[in-house]
Structure 1
Amino acid sequence: MKVFPLLLLSVLITSGCATTQSPTGRGQTLLFSSQEMSQLGDASFSQIKQQEKVSQDKAVNAYVNCVANRITAALPDQGLPWEVVIFESEQVNAFALPGGHIGVYTGLLNVAVNQDQLATVIGHEVAHVLANHSNEQVSRAKLTGAGMQLADIALGAGGIADKDLYMAALGLGVQVGYILPYGRNQESEADIIGVELMAKAGFDPAQSVELWKNMSKAGGEQGPELLSTHPSHGQRIAQLQAKAQPLYLMSKSSVKNTCQRAK
């Protein structure tokens, strides 16, 4: 019964490198197709939903979905609908995965205190997917030898220990306790794309500065996990939001659905 997965695995093993450019013009080497990355994202998100407690709070779900849906509606390629799941956890974090998946932890809502600040985070995470950063991560793992295991897991032939490696390569270090982190270039790129994306969706990019301040205050000196992997400082974020402000002014009048924060 493993013949079909093994055939797919052979495709992953023998597929050539695709050299392309990110949305900001940075060179990328991608070893996996968009379909293969969607399979990886689908499998990982399914596993997370089994491991984490999914929030049943209707007000919180409506609020987060409202923000996320406006962000994804502003994407250049609409594609399939995005799945948004809120997890009951004190973690100040969120993530997005290939295949159209967004996860938000309720702890983030204590730091991202309004719709614009929440849109800053979701926009940043969706930008990682839009810029193929997950593909870069898994491709890097393959080039260093770990990718063979990752391909094995994605096709259903690996063990639980390998699944942790696979999830780590997708940037999900909070779930598995370790991470193959996005590089500084990737994080900076997600800042640029994410702030522009939120502005196009009608969210105020100026609030990205306030979010950064809130993040800096949260969790003492080290701050939350989301901040620890983020290279941009306040001045950098301020510069990005200033550039995105004209996009916000053009788009806000056409946005009718204000997302009401859950009380």
Structure 2
Amino acid sequence: MLVSDGQLAQLSEQAWQDSLQRERVLRDPSYQRRLQRVGDRIVRASGQSQLNWEFVVFDSDTVNAWVLPNGKVGFYKGILDIMETDDHVATVMGHEVGHIAGRHSAERASQQLAAQMGIGLLASAIGSSGTEYAQYSQDIGAALGMGVTYGVILPYSREHEYEADRLGVDYMVGAGYDARQAVDFWVGMSSANNHRTAEFASTHPSDENRIAAMRAHIRDRGYAA
């Protein structure tokens, strides 16, 4: 690992502060209550309560959501508006918390920062709070895994994605949500995704394989009973 836990926490905090400055926070308390309600339950079920969790809804029609490794959660109004039930919110929240529990962000950030921006950037980004960090904020945000767009998580590895799906379903059930709703959500997102990439050319699973694996996990765990 090129990125330590301390460095990851600092990068995450800087990415979070950058997001709060660039994005407009939604002031409708009903959205905030919904996200907080689901987030609190998923966090308790995941056992990741050691982080300082914070949940914010951004005022944009973008169908997007992300969770940083330091427990900072950003959901956009656009994705909440198409989530028909709290189970759907828990689907995405559980998946992203699964990435944190699996420590996937540390590995991805190490790989991305080394490959795309060079190791020298890491020290400057960590020590920077102004324009030097802002110059690379999108790259660092992507490296930390900030994003779900139309049901396609920004790619970790296929193995990471499958593991996060499994953990997310487990957390949903532990929090009292219906695991079958996770399949419904991803089927709906797959239908809305008109820009599919062949699985062999992508680091994330195809929609069909992801949904099939999720169904198998739900069946094997007895969650569908």
Matched, 1:236 2:207: no
Any residues of structure 2 matched to 1:1-263 within 5 Å, and which? 30-144=1-115, 146-156=118-128, 158-172=132-146, 181-218=155-192, 221-222=194-195, 231=205, 232-233=207-208, 234-246=211-223
**Rg: which structure is higher?**
1
What do you get for the CA RMSD once the two structures are aligned? 2.6
Structure 1 residues 180, 112: CA separation in 2 closer, same or farther (over 3 Å shift)? closer
Provide the C-alpha distance between the structure 1 equivalents of 2:184 and 2:68, rounded to a whole number of angstroms: 26
Deviation at 1:116, TM superposition (A): 0.8
Q: Over residues 12-51 of structure 1, what are the superposed CA-to-partner deviations in whole Å (9 max), with x where a residue is unaligned?
A: xxxxxxxxxxxxxxxxxx2333222111111101101111
Provide the C-alpha distance between the structure 2 equivalents of 1:37 and 1:69, rounded to a whole number of angstroms: 23
Q: Over residues 81-126 of structure 1, what are the superposed CA-to-partner deviations in whole Å (9 max), with x where a residue is unaligned?
A: 3100111112222111121111111111233210111100010011
Unaligned runs of 5+ in 2: 197-201
Q: Which has the higher contact order (CA 8 A, sep 6+)?
A: 2
Q: Partner letter of residue 49 of structure 1?
A: L
Q: Partner letter of residue 191 of structure 1?
A: D
3-state SS of paired residue (1:74): helix
TM-score by length of 2: 0.83
Deviation at 1:200, TM superposition (A): 1.0
Provide the C-alpha distance between the structure 1 equivalents of 2:8 and 2:179, rounded to a whole number of angstroms: 30
Unaligned runs of 5+ in 1: 1-29, 250-263
What is the aligned length?
211
**Which moves more between the two structures, 45-54 or 155-164?**
155-164
Provide the C-alpha distance between the structure 1 equivalents of 2:26 and 2:160, rounded to a whole number of angstroms: 30
Q: Partner letter of residue 153 of structure 1?
A: A
Identity of aligned residues (%): 35
Verify the 8 A CA contact 1:67 1:119 in the aligned structure 2: yes
Q: Partner letter of residue 57 of structure 1?
A: D
Structure 1 residues 243, 148: CA separation in 2 closer, same or farther (over 3 Å shift)? farther
TM-score by length of 1: 0.72
Provide the C-alpha distance between the structure 2 equivalents of 1:101 and 1:180, rounded to a whole number of angstroms: 17
Verify the 8 A CA contact 1:89 1:107 in the aligned structure 2: yes
Provide the C-alpha distance between the structure 1 equivalents of 2:134 and 2:28, rounded to a whole number of angstroms: 31
